[in-house]
Amino acid sequence: MQSNKRFYITTAIDYPNAKPHLGHAYEKVLADCIARWNFLLGKDVFFLTGTDEHGLKIQRAAAEQKMNPKEFVDKQVKFFKEAYSALDIEWSRFIRTTDADHEELVQKFFEKLYKDGYIYMGKYKGLYCVDCEAFYTAKDLINGSLCPVHKRKCEIVEEESYFFKLSKFQDKLIEFIEKNPNCIFPDTRRNEVLARLKKEKLHDLSVSRLNVEWGIPVPFDKKHTIYVWFDALLNYLTGIKWPSKKFRQYWPALHLIGKDIVWFHTAIWFSMLMAAKIKLPKIVAHGFINLEGNVKMSKSKGNVIDPIVLAEKYSSNAVRYYLLREIPFGEDGYFSEKALIERNNTELADSLGNLLNRVLVLIEKKFNGVIPKAKTSEELSKKLNVAKIKGYFSKFELHLALKEIFSFVDECNRYINEKQPWNSSREEAATTLYSLADSLRVVAILLWPFMPNASEEILKQLGIKPSREFFKGAIEKVKFNLLKQNKINRSGILFPKFEFKEEKIKARDVKVSVSPELKKLGLKVYSAVIEGVKVKRKSRALEKEKQEIVIKVKDKLTGKEYNRLIEGYEKIYEKLGIKVRNSVRNLVEQVLANGRLPQINTAVDSYNLVSLEKAVVVGAHDIDKLKGDIRFEFYDGKKPFVPLEEKQQRKIPENSFVVVDDERVICFADEKQCDETKIDLATKNIVIYVQGNSLMSEAYCKEALRKICDKIIAYCGGRIKRIDR
């Protein structure tokens, strides 16, 4: 049984199939902060983090790099340790599920549940997502086959398998969670789990695989390997050596995890523990960190933020401060370099760094660099509300705890400006400067969980040697008048300032050409490249402009002249003998039916607006997802085509003309464009083209192109890199 003197905190263990990103680091910074806070409270803290290294996902990632899985994970794990060290994360153990003691424990646990009748042999047939490492039922899948998370086709897997009797625990789980309202935090997550448990019948869980080599063998049936989640969850027991004395001292843990894996940690993990008669831990779930515009970081989008690069550029202090201050615990937030710099410059550099520097310079000038003897002014000390900070920590409101500490720093700044120790008598200056130096000592201790490096640096400058022992139980030193007459060590700037430079994103040029055969049919194409855009979901001004356009052109849409222009396209299809819908025709019909233009994002909406106004077919693609240049040509049947929102290859009718890059068809005739190169919120560079037919002049098409570029730049920013003039 964990006593109040001990504290065991764990994080989720990361999949090392790719390098760590800021989302992984965010979780470890949160955990490190909570661990350090408990250390300040005087507890023996054990902080476990690590990597989840078995299973198909890793096996395949290793194969892609032509490495064996162990070599591959050995290489990958270094990036995780490096990233977390760069952020001053101090774990007690970094566990890897390939560690020998863990593999042993997993086998022992599996065998125990088997002997106790909680695991049995059965047959499994199901749809499996390799990326989730999870089976799904068809009703959970998009169109019955695509993984709801990764939108990838699930594989049908049928095999003999060991099953864990999860179904036995449904009522017990509900009862436990209802009786222990604090076992899952925040409440929203607890309510979600409870609602699901009450609605959905729990089925027994397949916990072994036949054809996954990279895993821990079932000890009594070695052709099976243990299911990766069953293996991974047990890391929490290995960390403190279940069932040793250490385990009894530290258990139960606080598991800090992301909101996406709460179900695994409650339904499955709680049941596994109940089966083994082990006390249940506490689950604390944080939100997700995304990019501006709520864009998810993902390897395929190439927009992943590397925590190592960030820490090198801005220091661990600035990054930790930003992560812990910006995002309210439990909620989703987004990362913005600009916001990080703003907080660093105003809150860290101007407010805290400047205060420290002013106080130390004045102590040097007026007191020869020795902290004067005096008493801390109560006028100042009463402004610090430690109880409030403790209260915030108990609810994991780390951002509010930090805000409260900084509101005391603001009070210190107000106090120095008011007292003007540079102008006052020696005696008054002694009181003012002692009060401030003493307050900075207190602030430094309170900041240790948030920014250990800055905290230790402030203490050093105040002449205190901050060993790890100094911080054990240091909450006791969060009292005034404890600062001695130390010689100070003013050194350097604690928080350097940074300038925000709008990143000049450069696009590569993409040429758009038309084959001679298609030219003969009257098809002409004019293109432009726009670089450095920021696509948004929606813009109020653009919505207004779209409405105005619809009103302006509504009558024209059914008129002869307008329709003749569209027929110009349709004549080309007729000549080819293909049946496809023209995209302008499509747009017109939508507008006539709904009275408005569709709403996709600010880039697509911008060009649709001009497409409707001028009856021109427009195409646009994300340059960074294209391979090589673009070409309009007759389809030779060779390249694959996956249309928008379909995610599966589609056959293209004979005699079609297509738009291709070096690898695939990105658009065909004038129907849907391909999914992979579509413009979305992560797009930075766009190639855009207007297609004209024999009824449209070159000048007419170029004017439309120019107008589209202007609209995109007005609503998404960016610059024209190249345009057919």
Q: Least distance (Å) from ligand MSP to the CB of residue 500?
A: 23
Rounded least distance, CB 332 to ligand MSP, Å: 8
Contacting ligand MSP within 42-71 (CB under 6 A): 52
105 binds ligand MSP (CB under 6 A): no
Q: Which stretch binds ligand MSP (CB under 6 A): 198-206, 255-263, 591-599, 640-648?
A: 255-263
Q: Which of 2, 8, 24, 216 binds ligand MSP (CB under 6 A)?
A: 24
232 binds ligand MSP (CB under 6 A): yes
Q: Residue 603, exposed/middle/buried by CB under 10 A (0-12, 13-18, 19+)?
A: buried
The least distance separating ligand MSP from the CB of residue 371, rounded to whole angstroms, comes to 42
| The one among 7, 26, 163, 250 contacting ligand MSP by CB under 6 A | 26
Pick the closer one to ligand MSP by CB: 296 or 719.
296
CB 226 within 8 A of CB 98: no
Measured from the CB atom, the residue of 39 and 288 that comes closer to ligand MSP is 288
Q: How far is the CA of 265 from the CAs of 166, 190, 321, 677, in angstroms?
A: 13, 12, 28, 36
Which part of the chain contacts ligand MSP (CB under 6 A), choosing from 102-110, 257-265, 307-315, 398-406?
A: 257-265
Least distance from ligand MSP to the Cβ atom of residue 411, Å: 33
Structural element, H or E, at residue 622: strand 617-622
Nearer to ligand MSP (CB atom), residue 235 or residue 439: 235
Q: Which residues are catalytic?
A: 21, 24, 129, 132, 147, 150, 296, 299
At 223, list the tokens: 């052709």
- In the complex with ligand MSP, the residue whose CB is nearer, 196 or 388, is 196
Instruction: Output the DSSP codes for 17-39.
Output: TS---HHHHHHHHHHHHHHHHHH
**Residue 526 to residues 52, 531, 566, 606, Cα–Cα distance (Å):** 50, 17, 17, 17
Under rule CB under 6 A, residue 324 binds ligand MSP:
no
Check residue 96 for interaction with ligand MSP (CB under 6 A). Answer: no
Between 31 and 553, name the residue whose CB sits nearer to ligand MSP. Answer: 31
* The one among 40, 257, 494, 576 contacting ligand MSP by CB under 6 A: 257
Give the CB-nearest residue to ligand MSP.
Answer: 258
Tell me how far, at minimum, the Cβ of 573 lies from ligand MSP, in Å.
Answer: 45
Q: How far is CA 85 from CA 144, 321, 631, in A?
A: 43, 16, 48
Cβ–Cβ contacts within 10 Å for residue 100, how many? 8
3-state SS class at 478: coil
Q: Which is nearer to ligand MSP, 279 or 552 (CB)?
A: 279
- Tokens 């909570």 found at: 34
Of 9, 12, 283, 576, which one interacts with ligand MSP (CB under 6 A)? 12
Least distance to ligand MSP, CB of residue 288, Å: 4
The torsion angle over the Cα atoms of residues 194, 196, 202 and 207, rounded to 10 degrees, is: -90
Of residues 369, 293, 301, the one with CA closest to residue 335: 293
Residue 520, classified by CB atoms within 10 Å of its CB into exposed (0-12), middle (13-18) or buried (19+), is exposed
User: What's the rounded Cα separation, in Å, for the pair 628 and 400?
Assistant: 50
Distance CA 29, CA 32 (A): 5
Q: Exactly one of 2, 27, 367, 437 binds ligand MSP (CB under 6 A); which one?
A: 27
Choose between 257 and 349: whose C-beta lies nearer to ligand MSP.
257
Residue 13 sits in the site that holds ligand MSP (CB under 6 A): yes
Task: Give, rounded to a whole angstrom, the gap between the first and last alpha carbons of the chain.
Answer: 76
Closer residue to ligand MSP (CB): 80 or 169: 80
The stretch near ligand MSP (CB under 6 A) out of 88-96, 232-240, 384-392, 461-469 is 232-240
Chain-centre distance for alpha carbon 526: 38
Quote the CA–CA distance of 70 and 68 in Å, as a whole number.
6
Minimum CB distance to ligand MSP, residue 149 (Å): 10
Residue number with CB closer to ligand MSP (228 or 533): 228
Alpha carbons 54 and 100: distance in angstroms, whole number: 13
Closest CA to 86 of 472, 494, 453: 453
CA distances from 224 to 62, 208, 212, 217 (A): 21, 6, 8, 6
Give the dihedral sign, CA 308/314/317/323.
negative
Q: Residues 119-138 vs ligand MSP: string with x where CB under 6 A?
A: --------------------
- C-alpha to C-alpha distance for 289 and 327, rounded to whole angstroms: 8
Closest contact distance (angstroms) between CB of 531 and ligand MSP is 27
Give per-residue burial for 422-445: e unless 16+ CB within 10 Å, then b: eeeeeeebbbbbbbbbbbbbbbbb
Binding residue count for ligand MSP, defined by CB under 6 A: 19
Beta carbon of residue 28, minimum distance to ligand MSP (angstroms, whole number): 9
| Dihedral (Cα; 626, 632, 635, 638), 10-degree rounding | -30
Contact 62, 69 (CB under 8 A): yes
Kindly state the smallest distance separating residue 507's Cβ from ligand MSP, in Å.
26
Compose the 259-298 pattern: x for residues touching ligand MSP by CB under 6 A, - for all others. Answer: -xx--------------------------xx-------x-
Measured from the CB atom, the residue of 56 and 688 that comes closer to ligand MSP is 56
Q: What is the 3-state secondary structure (H, E, C) of 79-97?
A: HHHHHHHHCCCCCCEEEEC
Nearer to ligand MSP, 231 or 605 (CB): 231
Query: Pattern of binders to ligand MSP over 185-224, x per CB under 6 A?
Result: ----------------------------------------
Cβ 15 to ligand MSP shortest distance, Å: 4
Stretch that binds ligand MSP, among 7-15, 174-182, 508-516, 630-638 (CB under 6 A): 7-15
Say if strands 686-692 and 665-668 run parallel, antiparallel, or are unpaired: unpaired
Binding site for ligand MSP (CB under 6 A): 12-15, 23-24, 26-27, 52, 232-233, 235, 257-258, 260-261, 288-289, 297
